[in-house]
Structure 1
Amino acid sequence: MRWQDGDRGGNIEDRRGLGPVAAGGVGIGGLVLAAIGYFVFGVDPSTTLNAVQQQAGQEMSQDGFHAGARGTPQDLDAQFVDVIEQSTTEVWSQEFQARGRIYQRPAAVVLYDQSTGTGCGLGQTAMGPFYCPADEKVYLDLSFWQELSGRFGAGGEAARAYVIAHEIGHHVQKLTGQTQRAERLGAQGAASGSVRLELQADCYAGVWAAHAAEISGGKVSLDAKDIADGLRAASAVGDDTLQQETQGRVAPDTFTHGTSQQRMRWFEAGAESGDPAQCDTFKAARL
Structure 2
Amino acid sequence: MRWQGGRQSDNVEDLRDENAGQQGGLSQGGIGLGGGGFVGPAFQLVRSGGISGIIILVVLFFGMKAIGLDPMQFLLTGNLAPVQTSSQTSGAPTQQRNDEMTQFVRTVLAETEDVWSGIFKANGATYTPPTLVLFSNQVRSACGFASAASGPFYCPGDRKVYIDLSFYNELANRFGASGDFAQAYVLAHEVGHHVQNLLGILPRVNQMRQSMSQDDANKLSVRVELQADCFAGIWGYYTNQEGIVEQGDLEEAINAAHQIGDDTLQKRTQGYVVPETFNHGTSAQRAEWFTRGYNSGKIDACNTFNADI
Candidates 244, 254, 267, aligned match of 2:277: 254
Give me the identity figure in percent: 43
Name whichever of 248-257 and 178-187 sits farther off: 178-187
| Structure 1 contact 238–261 (Cα < 8 Å) conserved | yes
Residue aligning to 1:125: 148
SS of 2:146's partner is strand
How big is each residue's C-alpha offset from its partner over 1:213-234, in whole Å with a ceiling of 9 and x where there is no partner? 44xx54xx11341011000000
Partners of 1:3 and 1:68 in 2: how far apart? Answer: 31
Q: Does 1:30 align with 2:57?
A: no
Q: Where does 1:5-44 land on structure 2 (aligned, <5 Å)?
A: 5-20=5-20, 30=27, 32=29, 40=35
State the Cα distance separating 1:181 from its structure 2 match: 3.4
State the TM-score, normalizing by the size of structure 1: 0.81
Residue aligning to 1:52: none
Against the structure 1 CA distance between its residues 101 and 71, is the aligned structure 2 distance closer, same or farther, given a 3 Å change threshold? farther
Partners of 1:158 and 1:116 in 2: how far apart? Answer: 26
Q: Does 1:200 align with 2:224?
A: no
Against the structure 1 CA distance between its residues 67 and 207, is the aligned structure 2 distance closer, same or farther, given a 3 Å change threshold? farther
Partners of 1:262 and 1:179 in 2: how far apart? Answer: 20
State the TM-score, normalizing by the size of structure 2: 0.76
User: How many positions carry a matched residue from both structures?
Assistant: 256
Q: Where does 1:130-141 land on structure 2 (aligned, <5 Å)?
A: 130-141=153-164
State the Cα distance separating 1:69 from its structure 2 match: 4.6
SS of 2:35's partner is helix
Against the structure 1 CA distance between its residues 71 and 182, is the aligned structure 2 distance closer, same or farther, given a 3 Å change threshold? farther
Alignment-mate amino acid for residue 268 of structure 1: T
Against the structure 1 CA distance between its residues 70 and 161, is the aligned structure 2 distance closer, same or farther, given a 3 Å change threshold? farther
Candidates 260, 267, 280, aligned match of 1:237: 260
Q: Where does 1:263-282 land on structure 2 (aligned, <5 Å)?
A: 263-282=286-305
Residue aligning to 1:227: 250
Q: Where does 1:37-52 land on structure 2 (aligned, <5 Å)?
A: 40=35
Between 1 and 2, higher relative CO (CA 8 Å, sep ≥ 6) is seen in 2
SS of 1:116's partner is strand
Residue aligning to 2:119: 95
Partners of 2:92 and 2:21 in 1: how far apart? Answer: 9
Which segments of 5 or more consecutive residues in structure 2 lack a partner in the other structure?
Answer: 38-85
Partners of 2:277 and 2:141 in 1: how far apart? Answer: 25
How big is each residue's C-alpha offset from its partner over 1:227-271, in whole Å with a ceiling of 9 and x where there is no partner? 110000000110111111112221111111000000000000000
